[in-house]
Structure 1
Amino acid sequence: MIEKLLAVLSGFVIGVISNLGYGGVALLMAIESACIPLPSEVIMPFSGYLAWRGDMTLWGVALAGAVGCVLGSLVAYYAGAWGGRPLVEKYGRYVLISHHDLDLADRWFSRHGDITIFVGRLLPIIRTFIAFPAGISRMHLGRFVIYTFVGSFLWCYGLAWLGYTLGENWTGLKVYFHRFDFLIGAALLLGLVWYVRRHLRR
């Protein structure tokens, strides 16, 4: 089932980029950064393959991807700032999120938001959703945009470079990235279990 879904998403990604070029790269990465999990592990390596073929440039696709990430992240950021925070403050206790947790998150993003956003943009799964909690904590917008762009550019360039280097064999990357996604997902699940146990004990 998962393999079929990935195949459909991959076909969609390839079709959009083939028809829209740089605009398609930016659009897809914007969607991926707005908490909608499109596979950037397909978007950027395929773009790199097109650069290898001479249809686009490596720097161009990386820049388009990073700009798209910033635009999509702003959507998620404002969703968290305008809609997410009131919901968490009102209903958070039903999912074990207290005002104390919100205060901790606010202090964290105030002190360590820059490195959190930068590193978060370099991690599968986490990069898709990191902008939303930054918005809930109302991280400084200027710093949020800067570190989102820098981290996203490195991510996009790295994936595009792999696609460029592998050329027609770029599709072989998907297997390795899916394994890495599984490890990140397992780590997040363990963190969730720890979080629930800690709150239930309280």
Structure 2
Amino acid sequence: MGFITDFIKEYGLFAIFLIIMLEYACFPVSSEIVLPLSGAVASINNIHFLVILPVSVIAGLIGTGLCYAIGWFGGAAIINSIIRKFPKAEKSIKASYEKFNENGAWAVCIGRVIPLIRTYIALVAGAAKLNPATYFPSSFLGITIWNTLLIGLGYSLRENYDRVASYYQRYKHNLIPVIFICFVYLILNRILKKRKNKKIESQT
């Protein structure tokens, strides 16, 4: 990470934009390090928080858009390859994608604040042909929440931005299960409502 630290410190806003974009484009760059560092550098260089945050969100949207496009145009080939090798998997795969399309907005938004899932959700959304009008607003919301949290911590801590790692560990082990439970609850609640509405329609 020494190179990334030096790159950000030397080139400032341009470097921050580029590295955040690459991170959201599925390059092996850790947002848990890059975003707090970006906030710290911005704070030390008197770059206003309301400047660094929009820059990071735009970079994130461009990066995730690249992954989404790769999933959109290349995902089908990958899925078809799996189906050819394992024909019995076809029904399960189609059912999974239908569920994703039904709950795509929630999946994308909440997935944005869960490590690993938050980056690669773009490929799944693209492969599932999730409507761009659903994908990008949901991504915007999730990216804004995640970037605000991590850049904000780095911005506040300045030279002590590396303390974010310890806060992140607490978040990862305590908050993620809560988010996951909420996510499952929302999906189940939505499914039950749909079934209830179908029953009412069939009875009328």
Q: CA deviation at 1:70?
A: 1.0
Residues 35 and 150, structure 2, Cα contact 8 Å, conserved in 1: yes
Number of the residue aligned with 1:136: 127
Number of the residue aligned with 1:82: 73
Equivalent residue of 1:138, what SS?
coil
Equivalent residue for 1:114, pick from 101, 105, 128: 105
Closer, same or farther in 2 for the Cα pair 1:95/1:167, shift >3 Å?
farther
Equivalent residue for 1:173, pick from 164, 167, 170: 164
Distance (Å, rounded) in 2 between the aligned partners of 1:157 and 1:97: 44
Q: CA deviation at 1:42?
A: 1.3
Distance (Å, rounded) in 1 between the aligned partners of 2:53 and 2:86: 38
Equivalent residue of 2:33, what SS?
helix
Closer, same or farther in 2 for the Cα pair 1:75/1:168, shift >3 Å?
same
**Structure (1 or 2) with the larger CA radius of gyration:** 2
Q: Does 1:42 align with 2:33?
A: yes
Matches within 5 A, 1:85-96: 85-92=76-83, 94=85
Distance (Å, rounded) in 1 between the aligned partners of 2:24 and 2:97: 21
Deviations 1:1-59 (A, max 9, x none): xxxxxxxx2x2322232233222222112211122231111111112112332432212
Equivalent residue for 2:139, pick from 137, 143, 148: 148
Q: Does 1:73 align with 2:64?
A: yes
Unaligned runs of 5+ in 1: 1-8, 185-202
Distance (Å, rounded) in 2 between the aligned partners of 1:95 and 1:19: 51
Residues 12 and 42, structure 2, Cα contact 8 Å, conserved in 1: no
In angstroms, what is the RMSD of aligned CA positions? 2.5
- Letter of the structure 2 residue corresponding to residue 131 of structure 1: A
Q: Does 1:163 align with 2:154?
A: yes
Residues 113 and 146, structure 2, Cα contact 8 Å, conserved in 1: yes
Unaligned runs of 5+ in 2: 177-204
Closer, same or farther in 2 for the Cα pair 1:172/1:83, shift >3 Å?
same
Deviations 1:43-81 (A, max 9, x none): 111121123324322122221111111111111111111
Residues 17 and 56, structure 2, Cα contact 8 Å, conserved in 1: yes
Number of the residue aligned with 2:50: 59
Equivalent residue of 2:113, what SS?
coil
